[in-house]
Amino acid sequence: MKKTVVWLLCVSLLATALSYAVFGATALTEKDVEISGITAQYYTGVAITPDPKIVYNGTVLKEGKDYKLSYSNNVVAGSTASVYITFMGDYEGEIVRSFFIVPQSSSGGTVASGSDSTVAASAITVVQSPGGTVTCENKKAITGASIGFSVTANDGYYVLSVSVNDANGSPITVNDKGYGMYSFKMPSRAVVISAEFTDKKPAATAAPTTTTTPQTTTTANTGVVGVASDGLTPVTLTDIPQQQETFKNPFTDVKESDYFYEPVMWAYKKNVTKGMTDTTFVPSGTCTRGQTVTFLWRAAGSPNPENNANPFTDIKESDYFYKAVLWAVEQGITKGTAEKTFSPSATCTRGQVVTFLYRATSGTVSSVKTAFTDVDVNEYYADPVAWAVEKGVTTGVTATTFAPKNNCTRGQIVTFIYRAMGK
């Protein structure tokens, strides 16, 4: 009996070895996997090491068994860092993803960009609760750093509350940035981030009732009826100096000389998108599928989808991109990455973004041929790229390359949308 067991074990090991020798490891590329969790990060004074989620054929791969991570240039504020995903075991290949390290203003108390000064950092602890997930890439941060984190409710659940408390139990002010993102200023001691979830849909909050006190109107138009200082007597206003509304660029990382300056200002004014912080837009940061279709939806006027049937298991009604996704699918702008998944957290490539725009504007093209050597005429994005060039939406990264598989940056996306839909 013992010999039989040993013999069977040997046969099993031999079969495994032969299978590996015949078939080898599975080569994985960007097209084969879904990667989430690599996004722009706030500078905290310590090395930033995103821990991505990698899914292949519906299976979440495990770090240390299926792949290993390494990083470069991930300690300098204002720079673009890289995450190297090197597959191992049953898989082979390497994927490189980039993310932007958002600098903090000097008034925020952080180390200046590029500084090699050593500053003590306090711990950041995340407490998970049933019904959802709280994610913060930063494990430590120095005093004054602006820390970003996300809160995501599970299917059928809703976010009830979000809180940050310091080591003494004192609450820290939390800023709701939208898109399920939040931020806070790091105090001089350790903090704990937590959230509560509920399976009951929160009641809609009624808009507060306000009382407006009539005031004298100022206008440059002659013959316009206004209201006198008593709030009752109508008067005709003539020759009153017009008060010009001034707009100030809120972003320190967007200059007038940047190609994306006008598109970013347009997107900000039209509420297509806001910055990553109150003072930074992060034009070099990447965008997810959920964010990109939301930008398109808002640029189109935020129309309500006619069909509210949701085919995706990873999209729920409480998501900020819920209506945008249903609208985009309904309009034929995009489909899911699988029959029942949309992958809203997956990053968008340049080829995908121009394809979304091409479909959103019902684009047509006279010739599929372009000067780009990296755009095959048989690719799904061949017509969209040709259309984008014809319409002046983009001219490529060089005269002969479009880089369709590169991640599309925030600056590039708002520029594409502005040129195609905003002018």
Inter-residue contact 144 to 129 (CB < 8 Å): no
* Cβ count near 64 (within 10 Å): 9
Tokens, residue 404? 């369709």
Nearest residue to 99 via CA among 68, 61, 64, 72: 72
Nearest residue to 291 via CA among 104, 420, 150: 150
pTM over 0.95: no
Architecture of domain 24-107: Sandwich (2.60)
Q: What is the pLDDT of residue 220?
A: 40
The domain limits of the chain are 24-107, 120-203, 215-244, 261-422
Q: Kindly state the greatest CA–CA separation across the chain.
A: 108
Tokens, residue 421? 């839909």
Where the chain has pLDDT below 50, the residues are 18-22, 105-119, 205-244
Residues with Cβ < 8 Å from 245, sequence gap 6 or more? none
Alpha helix ranges (H) inside 249-313: 261-269, 289-299
CA 224 to chain centre: 46
Q: Dump the DSSP string for 304-323.
A: PPS------TT--TTSTTHH
What's the one-letter identity of residue 172? I
Cβ-in-10-Å burial (0-12, 13-18, 19+) of 271 comes to exposed
Q: What is the pLDDT of residue 203?
A: 62
Q: Which CATH class is domain 120-203?
A: mainly beta
**Residue matched to tokens 């019904």:** 131
Nearest residue to 68 via CA among 51, 86, 47, 55: 86
**Rounded to whole angstroms, how far apart are CA atoms 98 and 285?**
8
Measured between its terminal Cα atoms, the distance across the chain in Å is 81
Q: What is the pLDDT of residue 65?
A: 92
Tokens, residue 168? 């003494």
Tokens, residue 354? 């121009």
**Residue matched to tokens 């399920």:** 180
**53-56 and 33-36 beta bridge pairing:** antiparallel
